[in-house]
Amino acid sequence: MGRLQRSWELVKASWAVLQADKELVVFPIVSFIGSVLVLITFAIPMFAAGFFDSFSREGPGIISLIVAFLFYVVTYTVTFFANTALVGAAMIRLKGGDPTLADGFRIAQQHFGHIVGYALISATVGMILRAIAERGGIIGQIISSIIGFTWSVATFLVVPVLVVEDIGPVDAIKKSAELLKRTWGEQLVANFGMGAVFGLATVGIIILGVVLIGVAASISDALAILMVLGLIIAVLVVGLIASTLTGIYQAALYRYATEGEAGSYFPNDMIQDAFKPKR
């Protein structure tokens, strides 16, 4: 309960930043639309190359690997570009400025080369983890999950690092891990509680939606279809808000780790308690 309380405080602080700059939610929307367009573009070659098939014991074909890797790279590039724009704009707000959408996209454009480099690294890691999970059975899935979780923790501040510091993606990954370890040390148990808050919210919405769909189905099929569409939209909205607040949160964590304070929206004790040891 203590972790949920701290996470809720972080959500409220991040929400206050979003209220000051409501246009920040545009960046996750751009990321979502871009990712959908990438999926549509790759759909035919992905099916043709057997991308959606599990890796066989003989191993995937070379064409399947190439298509899968390119899909990962392009998708990550779109996502990281939008995230960089979001974090860049959030950093301006945390420093007392008044960012615009143009400011965010300008910052992302300035770091486009490093974003692509980071996407290439992430795509490689993703391919390796997928191979381990699909060819290693249960043990492989466990190992893949552990490595993936560690990777997520180590790279949590990569985007803010790329925004502020003129360094390449490899150095940014090292700097991200270094900042987290140096600032929170042994307290770092990956308490990414904001995800838990929005996870619970999503589960609650889905349960409520299923109940309403059941009630609507007993009245008319058309009403049930409308309820299904409403549920999908509600889940998407929660996801977009969660992505926006996470980007704001990353910017605040980076600023605290490098400057010792995160701005008026995030009290220092709140940020210091972002990662707490288990009791």
User: Token digits for 270?
Assistant: 């709140």
Place of tokens 């057997």: 50
Mean of pLDDT values over 70-98: 93
Indicate if the pLDDT at residue 1 is higher than 60. no
- Confidence band of 61 (pLDDT split at 50, 70, 90): low
| 15-30 pLDDT per residue, tens | 899 988 889 999 999 9
d(CA 39, CA 255): 34
Return the domain boundaries, the chain.
Answer: 2-272
Cβ 118 vs Cβ 165: under 8 Å: no
Cβ 210 vs Cβ 228: under 8 Å: no
Q: What is the pLDDT of residue 68?
A: 81
What separation in angstroms does the CA of 114 have from each of 157, 159, 196? 14, 10, 30
**Alpha carbon 248 to chain centroid, angstroms:** 11
d(CA 123, CA 43): 18
Mean of pLDDT values over 109-130: 93
Percent of the chain scored above 90 by pLDDT? 33
| 195-237 pLDDT per residue, tens | 777 888 889 999 998 999 999 888 888 888 999 999 999 989 9
What separation in angstroms does the CA of 188 have from each of 13, 16, 172, 185, 203? 21, 25, 19, 6, 27
Largest CA distance in the chain: 60
What separation in angstroms does the CA of 4 have from each of 56, 113, 168, 207, 210? 42, 38, 35, 20, 25
d(CA 24, CA 32): 14
- Could you count the other beta carbons within 10 Å of the beta carbon of residue 117? 18
Cβ 9 vs Cβ 198: under 8 Å: no
| 128-140 pLDDT per residue, tens | 998 888 787 888 8
Cβ 18 vs Cβ 242: under 8 Å: no
